[in-house]
Structure 1
């Protein structure tokens, strides 16, 4: 019996890895978390980074506290000015913007602090995977490319945002004042303006903008890593299915060959089990950011459409152009996040096509178990269990968006006279 077991193991040596391949995903994500310390996500950094992160968090919390108080004053009728950039809509948008940034900072800090534990579990899955799945050599380049594309689009959109708020007729000496009062009019009146307020607000608004981008970048890059793992497993199944069919066509009566195939199919099934465990572990850490991103994105898309309905394409050319660019970019950004995460769900069942196409001579108990496992087990990233990110969610969002916009508009019109204008600080009109 032992002799036969050793013979089977020698036959499957080309499917069993002799050494672990370096995981570019873990290395890239570690660098991303290191760079994130520059905007407050200290994570497991040293004391200096943690003090800097706490300082950023406290300053954002002060701005949020003032913004909430401004909303309360506007709703209670105590506000001196509720016109234009100080309307209820503008105050609520600013409050949501900074609240989102604070929660993003806290959740990202938590994820960064736990990254060593999560990376160790990720690596342990590779160590215990008993099939020779080649690494994804292009994953690192894809992650870096996607990150830089997002950064370039955000810089372009944000530059247009600043130009639309400042205008081309503003003297150089008044640029900072006009930008501060336009982007943070929900916080400051003209009589409250001071350069000692303007410079910290300028810095913190940029930090908040980066954090807003950062949460979606994390979701996209982590989704790319999980999708890559499923993609490689599915390719292994496809190639192994073809190899088994060729081997059995040559010798259908080989007991050692049948034993080898059953042994390898069992290892493949165990690899999918471990991959599902990894997705659930990642989802437990990332679910809060997914929920936050979805809620905030939905709110600001509604706000954008509300502004378009109530105001139309009014104002200067740069403002009209910026409104269209920001709305399109926001929708594209949300779609990219959803589709990147939804690919995990798609790839988790793609191997079924190869299993269903198996020849009758290739079929065994392990293939049947793998079919049942992949068809019945639902794998997807979720928003803390409230919803799953799959491709059908985009259609559902479109269906619910119309009703939400109508409800949102009716509520806000009751508070804002004639649908007065609103600007979101730093990223006006609800873009990242």
Structure 2
């Protein structure tokens, strides 16, 4: 086994996703997930040598305890000697970071200062960083930011039409997220199209429980649908996406909602879940749709309509279009969603190849349109690989 493996950690508020992979070959050595951390059902599962193992963690187990368990797994399987770095997904880098960085005390301080922009994510990311520093004291720690890819947006794309002092003093602006995913699939799309990334005009739709669309012009993000927080933009699993800001006043003054209640409503009770009154899982809604559930059909229709509108709007900053990319759990696997969206975008001249659309699922990539001109692609994302590659590159530069 090559001495070139990176441990990638992705800490959520109650979860820890991890993987060990070779940044040069993309080979995944070990992968897994610790979930329900802080609860009585905390657990960890991982796959190694094609064998999946599940472990019940101690009740209320913390991120530190999950990482300690991961360290034991790594040692038991003699993997520690092959690690050259630990790469961390950090959700929000504000305007401070335009690329990945090697973590030191100053970097951690900035991540902590930016936590007010991502209160559910950055503190968890810091917990993962500090736990990994203790567990792997001899390894460099690398931070890879969701927001960094979008720092190429111009002021006309990232500013809100609010008093400018809010931007100057408080950093209130559009930042965008899913940058690592958008970057990866854009590079893959250029290869599939046999074009240079610097001569490519792409719209990437990352569709999962969280969804965002990104306009990528000559390899750079020029606009994206998420904003100050991951709530802005298209309809998502439990997030509303764009709403009338006046809704806040209506809910507080007319219905007596508190700010906390509204935040929960918009982030956890809306989107596909709120519209369908059934589930935030697209697979469940598609099954219900085919069974004749009108509410599920309505949720899917609203999701696709808003998504198609957003995609169409991004032709404005691009000026021209080579391809639309579908990625993320829904984008990679839902042939129905892709069909609905491309039908709504028929003025681009898309002709769906039904067989290709059905084939491009469950990890398979491909072109799913048969027309001349702009095409639609399905490309499985690989954020862990980007994090590992960035870590390896930074180590190389440092040496």
Same fold (TM over 0.5): no
Q: Which has the higher helix share?
A: 1
In our comparison, the structure showing a higher alpha carbon Rg is 1
* TM-score using structure 1 length: 0.21
User: Could you state the TM-score of these two structures normalised by the residue count of structure 2?
Assistant: 0.22
